[in-house]
Structures are given as C-alpha cells and as structure tokens.
Structure 1
Amino acid sequence: MIIAITSFALPKPISREEAQRIFMSTAPTYQGVDGLLQKHYVLSEDGATAGGVYFWKTREAAEAMYTPAWRAFVREKYGTEPTVTYFDSPVVVDNVTGQVFQNEAGG
C-alpha cells in the first residue's frame, strides 16, 4: 500500500465549516478512482493549510492521479500549488477489524 500526503498553504485561512463545504463539493471526484482505497481530507488547526491523506493500492495508481490537470484543479479551487509526498506502508494496524497485516513489497 502507498500513502500519498498532499498539502497546500491557503491564500487565507478558512474555517472548518468552510473546509467541510469545499471538501464535500470535491469528494465525488474521488469516488470510484481506480486503486484509491481511501481519502481523508485534512485541515490544519489554524485553517491555513489543507490537503489529503490518500491510501492507494500501488504507486502507479497514485501517480495516475497527480497529473498536471489535477495540479491545475487544485490551483484553481484553492489558489495555491499543491505538494505530494509518497510513503510506502509496510504494516497496517486496523483497529476497526482488529487486524495487523503486512503489505506486499512495492505497494
């Protein structure tokens, strides 16, 4: 599994309520995306930074999302340039199912 963390400094801070409204408007974009297991929208406590934590099946699936078109969408929607950082996730603790499992090498 690959975890991608995106973030971007907002031109001006936003409230949690405003962030929730914006995030709900873009959430359907991520439904059904091939290889995307989960996306968690994030907002810093001061409302100045937003982004997402994405759980992907593979690095290739993740990289297919973060295209120039996606970056342009973020710039247009939030008025700022996003960053994307990738992490391999070799072990997962799932407290919902009560499981701990290892991920295969390479995603």
Structure 2
Amino acid sequence: MITEIVQFKLPKDMQRARVIELFEATVQRWQSNSDLIRKQYLYDPATHTGGGIYLWTSLDAAKAAHDSAWCDMAEEIYGDRPDFTYFETPLVVDNAAGSVLRNV
C-alpha cells in the first residue's frame, strides 16, 4: 500500500463552504476508483491549504490517478498546482472498522 499526501494552496478569498463544495463534487470520482482504499480531504484555513491523504493499492495507481491532466484540472479549480509526497504503508489501524490492514 502507498500513502500519498497531496497539498495545494487555495485562494485567500476562498471560503470554507466553497472548499467543501468543491471537495464534495469529487466524491463520486474517488468512490469509483477501485485502486483507492481510502481518502481523507484536508483543509487548513490558517494557511489556505487544501489537499488529501490517499491510501492506494500501489504507487502506479496513485500516479495514474493524479496524472498531468488531473494536475491541470486541480490548478484550474484551486489556483495552484499540487505537490505530492509518497510513503510505503505497511500497516493501517482502522479503529472505526475494527481492523488492521497489513502489507508486510
């Protein structure tokens, strides 16, 4: 498994309600991606930063989902080109589901 952290700067005048509205518009896209295990949306009003934390089946899946066309779209919508960080993820503790995902 791969954890991908995506971050981008938001326009200083973009209100929280608009950020959430834009995020909500992407939910179906991510739900239909069979390589995505989990996604958390990120928003920090103090630094005007948005993004997401994704748990993927593989690095290839992460990079395929966030290709140059996706980066272009994100830049057009949010006003900034995203930055990406990747981590191998050997274990995930999911207290809500009462499970542990292992990739060891």
Please state whether the residue corresponding to 2:81 is helix, strand or coil: coil
Please state whether the residue corresponding to 1:60 is helix, strand or coil: helix
The Cα shift of 1:36 comes to 0.7
Distance of 2:98 and 2:38 partners within structure 1? 18
- Listed as ranges, the gaps of 5+ residues in structure 1 are none
Please state whether the residue corresponding to 1:73 is helix, strand or coil: helix
What RMSD in Å do the two structures reach over aligned CA positions?
1.7
Count the aligned residue pairs.
104
Distance of 1:84 and 1:47 partners within structure 2? 17
Q: Report the CA distance shift for 1:11/1:17 in structure 2 as closer, same or farther (over 3 A).
A: closer
Residue 76 of structure 1 aligns with which residue? 76
Contact 1:35 1:56 in 2 (8 A): yes
Distance of 1:96 and 1:14 partners within structure 2? 32
Please state whether the residue corresponding to 1:69 is helix, strand or coil: helix
Q: What do the CA deviations read for 1:74-98 (whole angstroms, capped 9, x no partner)?
A: 0111111100111111122121233
Q: Give the TM-score taking structure 1 as reference length.
A: 0.85
Distance of 2:27 and 2:78 partners within structure 1? 15
Amino acid at match of 1:69: A
The Cα shift of 1:10 comes to 1.5
Counterparts of residues 1-107 of structure 1 (less than 5 Å): 1-46=1-46, 48-104=48-104
- Listed as ranges, the gaps of 5+ residues in structure 2 are none
The Cα shift of 1:47 comes to 5.8
